[in-house]
Amino acid sequence: MSLRLNNLTVSYQRHPAVHHVSGQFAPGRATAIFGPNGAGKSTLLKTMMGLLKPDSGSVELAGFARRDIAYLPQQSEIDRSLPVSVSDLVATGLWHSTGLFGQVTHAGRGRVADALAAVGLKDFAARPINALSSGQFQRVLFARILTQDARLILLDEPFNAVDARTTFDLLELIRHWQEEGRTVIAVLHDYEQVRAYFPHTLLLAREVVAWGETASVLTDDNLRRAAQTAAHWQDRAPVCTVSGEGTA
């Protein structure tokens, strides 16, 4: 199983947000995508998920089917007003096996209960999702990933507006996922979290600044280069010569 980016360029109105990015994610490990604001991190994740179309280059998913991939967007992009319960939402992680309108089986209900227990929300199954705190809601979304049994897990700033205890518990879950050989790719802003839980890092500033083992990537020199690159393009983002619009 591997996930490789081949010379990937993704633009909005021809302004590249991700520019000629190539490399391979470490299989069965956790990689952090780290970089300044506007560096293209979310754009890259959405492109890997197939939500944005690249102008050029490709995302090569060898050995992963679509059903193996879980994607957690930023909480701000999720509509929580739907009148569904915690267990209903977690059960949507089973839709690959149940079909969109299929009945959840007894075994499926057991998986939902196990997933809720694993994220510390055993007694929350019947709670409406709009009656949860940000931290509790993030636990529910991680439980959904557990029921899906995803092999490739993409997380966009999963700990934004999440309390310290929940962050710690979910980071431990990410550690456990690696022990199970799952590939985790997460956009993060917290340097200490990256160093403690993510053996690999892609430092992105529209282009790859560095990509490899976290200790060798997050050096003062590389971080300075990433900040300088960001300052440069924010003044005047160039129009890429590659034609096409990024939005799928």
Ligand X SMILES: Nc1ncnc2c1ncn2[C@@H]1O[C@H](COP(=O)(O)OP(=O)(O)OP(=O)(O)O)[C@@H](O)[C@H]1O
Sole binder of ligand X in the list 23, 28, 38, 128 (CB under 6 A): 38
Strands 2-12 and 207-213: unpaired
Does 12 bind ligand X (CB under 6 A)? Our answer is: yes
- Count residues near ligand X (CB under 6 A): 10
Does 243 bind ligand X (CB under 6 A)? Our answer is: no
Given the structure tokens 């633009």, which residue do they identify?
Answer: 11
Minimum distance, C-beta of residue 43 to ligand X, in the bound complex (Å): 3
Piece of the chain touching ligand X by CB under 6 A; list 36-44, 82-90, 164-172, 191-199: 36-44
Sole binder of ligand X in the list 3, 5, 17, 86 (CB under 6 A): 17
Judged by beta carbon, residue 40 or residue 93, the one nearer ligand X is: 40
Q: For ligand X, what does the binding mask look like between residues 42 and 81, x meaning CB under 6 A?
A: xx--------------------------------------
Minimum distance, C-beta of residue 16 to ligand X, in the bound complex (Å): 9
Minimum distance, C-beta of residue 26 to ligand X, in the bound complex (Å): 21
Do 18 and 206 contact (CB within 8 A), yes or no? yes
Strands 2-12 and 15-25: antiparallel
The span from the CA of 224 to the CA of 229, in Å, is 9
Site for ligand X in 191-230 (CB under 6 A): none
Do 48 and 88 contact (CB within 8 A), yes or no? no
Tell me how crowded residue 132 is: count the other CB atoms within 10 A of its CB.
18
Question: Phi and psi dihedrals of 71, rounded to 5?
Answer: -130, 125
**Strands, E, within 67-182: which ranges?**
69-72, 152-156
Does 37 bind ligand X (CB under 6 A)? Our answer is: yes
Judged by beta carbon, residue 54 or residue 93, the one nearer ligand X is: 54
The span from the CA of 32 to the CA of 185, in Å, is 6
Residues that bind ligand X in the complex, under the rule CB under 6 A: 12, 17, 35, 37-43
